[in-house]
Chain A
Amino acid sequence: MPERDEEIASKVQRGDTESFGILVERYEPKLMRYARKFLSDTEDMKDVLQNVFLKVYSNIQSFDTKRKFSPWIYRIAHNEFVNTLKKRKNERLRIFDLDTFLPYQTSSETADGEANGKDLKSTLNDCLDQIDTKYREPLVLYYFEEMNYKEIAEVLHIPVSTVGVRMMRGKKILKEVYRKKYE
């Protein structure tokens, strides 16, 4: 049975730097996919991804091995992608999001049917760059990285209820963008 990410991270913390290569192998394709969906294809993904892994290595001692590794590394990737977008200067810096202020009464996860999910995934692929980052990211993490709402909340450092709200609004915007594009 392959070693869990958390066990490998623990080895790296104890000084086994070769084990870090296993983590890079496991997460490089996932983070590359995430990067392509988050940023645009014009970005040098390799450089961005290298920075992500270097930051992961640099901060590995701050990782609590009792928690899941995946949201932690995605959080670092998220921060790096946000910094990359900021450097573009055409992305507004959002200090405070109103949708993290109040509690929302949304169900923790909506049960999209499998067919529905596949349709949405293909629509998302088509219209990603026209959706605001705020809504794009939870949709990407849910449909492409197959994270649940709790994991998405960990990555984005927002309440689970806010994830639900952004997913709902993101799907609405996506449908509208798709309708305008193809009608």
Chain B
Amino acid sequence: MNDPEKEKSIKEGILSQIKAGQAKMRPKWHFVLRAALFVVGVFTALVALIYVVSFIFFVLRQTGIWFVPVFGFQGIAVFLVSLPWLLIVLAVIFVVLLEVLIKQHSMAYSKPILYSLAIIVGLAGLTGFAISKAGMHEKFYEFAQLHKMPIADSIYQKYGFKAYKQVHPVIVQEITGQGLRVKNCRGEVLNITTSTETKLFPLEIRFGPKDRLVILGSRSNGDVAAIGIKKISGYPKAAEDCLFLPMKHK
């Protein structure tokens, strides 16, 4: 049983500390400010996450990686190996940060982590995808080439202009007897040879000059034996003269 004297002394000890000013009540504005900082923190982390996700989608389309899974197992393997893993890890870090932040709120901690994680990933994925289609990164890419973005231009140039050995985003120059003569955004001319096993998307496709394609196949000097060819359409206006914006060298 508790000693009443001891109980009294705890209460009186606390009240005397309060009266002496040793124990202070934090003012309401402290908690309002904390809540505001929390909101700013969540918003910033969310915006950063959406930006990184949209940039990942941009990079995947810019380099042609986005289109290769349609070519089957080989395409999927190339896709997985070529993903921008550093950017993906960065996105995961932002997801974890957001999860840690929102778990402070009763709406989040009262539900299993899986639910809030699904909402964060879903929201970031959908919004990031929508933003990547809007042309923002293409504009930033142009600025990067003109060196108008001091910090970001090296990132855009590094990721947006990355060339892969087996993925070739190109524009058709002419149809030849063996296949196609195409040009990539480095200005290189490639000879594409097709066979009966080359997968075409859409099926029964007819190629013509200025068609934009993504080709899966190994390159040997200026020749590519096409495993798959996919025609691309519906790109933003900024990429009119080249599907994938040409790199202007310094």
Q: Measuring CB to CB, which residues of chain A are less than 8 angstroms from any residue of chain B?
A: 12, 17-18, 20-21, 24-25, 28-29, 32, 46, 49-50, 53-54, 57-62, 100-104, 153-154, 157-162
Contacts and interface: CB of A to CB of B under 8 A. Distances in A.
B12 to A, nearest CB: 8
A32 B25 CA distance: 23
Contact of A159 (B6, B17, B19, B112): B112
Interface residues of B, number: 28
Contacts of A12: 25
B15 A17 contact: yes
Contact of A102 (B27, B103, B114): B114
Q: What does DSSP make chain A's interface, helix, strand, loop or mixed?
A: helix
Max chain A Cβ within 10 angstroms of own Cβ: one of B18, B26, B27: B18
B206 interface: no
Interface in B1-54: 2, 6-7, 10-11, 13-15, 17-19, 23-28, 30-31
A51 to B, nearest CB: 10
A61 B30 CA distance: 9
A50 B109 contact: no
Given A17-B15, A17-B18, A58-B23, A24 B110 contact: no
Interface of B: 2, 6-7, 10-11, 13-15, 17-19, 23-28, 30-31, 103, 106, 109-115
A60 B2 CA distance: 26
B18 A32 contact: no
B31 A100 contact: no
12 contacts: A17-B19, A20-B18, A28-B7, A46-B6, A53-B10, A53-B14, A54-B23, A58-B24, A58-B25, A61-B25, A100-B113, A154-B106
B10 A162 contact: no
Nearest to A160: B110
Contacts of B106: 154
A46 B15 contact: no
Contact of B15 (A18, A61, A62, A104): A18
A58 B30 CA distance: 11
A50 B112 contact: no
Given A61-B28, A62-B31, A24 B109 contact: no
Contacts of A59: 26, 31
B11 A28 contact: yes
B10 A28 contact: yes
Given A49-B10, A58-B25, A61-B28, A21 B15 contact: yes
A32 B2 contact: yes
A158 B15 CA distance: 33
